[in-house]
Amino acid sequence: MYINRVNTKILPVEFKYFAPKTVSEAASILNRYGEEVRILAGGTDLLVKVKQRLIEPKYILNVKGIEELRFIEDRSGEIGVGAATKLSELVGSEIIKEKLPVLHEAAEAVGSVQIRNMGTIGGNLCNASPASDLAPPLLVLNTSVKAYSSSGERVIPLEKFFLGPGETVLKPDELLVEIKIPCPPEGTGMSFLKVARTSMDLAKANVAVAIKLDGNTVKLCRIAMGSVAPTPIRLFQTEKILLGSEFTDGKIERAVQTASEEIKPITDIRSTAEYRREVSKVLVRRALKKAYERVKEGEING
């Protein structure tokens, strides 16, 4: 790892800096310089990597000043979030707290007050960390994202967005502009859980669950995990165990076992593959039970 030891308060890479005010200006810069541009949407990941010379951008495009990328909109049945919306704005949003509480919980679990005040939802997704805290809840909410380029727009299901650590399907000329989150059906119970060394740290593993019941029969079941595969993933095999059957302790244990087999964890600086497999069982079990409790609470209160 190279670090500029003379003065680490100056980045060891020289680049040209752009701070456009509109999406179309940003798109034309991306169109012109493509792969040589890195997008600055928070800095808490990008600038650390530049500092360590893991990336050496020729151009930096700061999107923090693009006002049209900062919004949280309650449309009928869908919440739209601008890509440059800060995590602190997600945490503080009454719309998110009320309509997508699981996203509120996950955003609150990221870093510190300072980090959340700098980091953005779009930056968190485009950084494509397998340990993203926002990705699992967004995956269980069936989120799509909108990419914009000079040649047009396209909507990508989040499930298809991540390719590997730090890699997404975005083309060099595309800018992530919006996160489109469908509101879950009435009566859905959701939960988010994370294990990390300290609450400031990135996850050793995290999980989000959404379930809906008819009587005691599982009608909707979505489970997603982070830090247990090269990308945040949905656990489709595990979901199938529960879907359409009674929500019983026996079924939960089968689901938990399947989850530990379905994930593909590795050993790295934060944890071992073995630990991740074990703790995933605990996380999935607890998250399912918590989501179930919330379904029941909703029935009583609602």
Q: Please report how close the Cβ of residue 106 comes to another protein at its closest, in angstroms.
A: 16
C-beta of residue 67 within 8 angstroms of C-beta of residue 162: no
Map the footprint of another protein across residues 124-153, applying CB under 8 A: none
55 binds another protein (CB under 8 A): no
Q: How far apart are CA 5 and CA 182, in angstroms?
A: 48
Q: What residue type is 136 in one-letter code?
A: P
- The reply on whether position 20 binds another protein by CB under 8 A is no
Instruction: Compare residues 90 and 213 and give the one whose CB is closer to another protein.
Output: 90
Question: Which range binds another protein by CB under 8 A, 10-18, 185-193, 203-211, 219-227?
Answer: 10-18
The residue within the footprint of another protein, chosen from 1, 5, 17, 186 (CB under 8 A), is: 17
Phi and psi dihedrals of 168, rounded to 5?
Answer: -130, 175
Instruction: Give the three-state DSSP class for 207.
Output: strand
Q: Which residues lie closer than 8 Å to 22 by C-beta, 6 or more apart?
A: 66, 68
- For tokens 């939802």, the residue is 121
R_g of the chain, CA atoms, integer Å: 20
Q: By CB neighbour count within 10 A (0-12 exposed, 13-18 middle, 19+ buried), where does 90 fall?
A: buried
- Say whether residue 47 binds another protein (CB under 8 A): yes
- Tell the smallest beta-carbon distance from residue 15 to another protein (Å): 6
Rule CB under 8 A: choose which of 2, 10, 151, 299 binds another protein: 10
In DSSP terms, 298 is beta-bridged to none
Measured from the CB atom, is 17 or 301 closer to another protein?
17
16 binds another protein (CB under 8 A): yes
Which region, judged by CB under 8 A, interacts with another protein, from 94-102, 107-115, 164-172, 263-271? 107-115
Instruction: Mark 178-207 with x for binding to another protein (rule: CB under 8 A) and - for no binding.
Output: ---------------------xx-------
Asked if 51 touches another protein (CB under 8 A), the answer is yes
3-state secondary structure of 205: strand
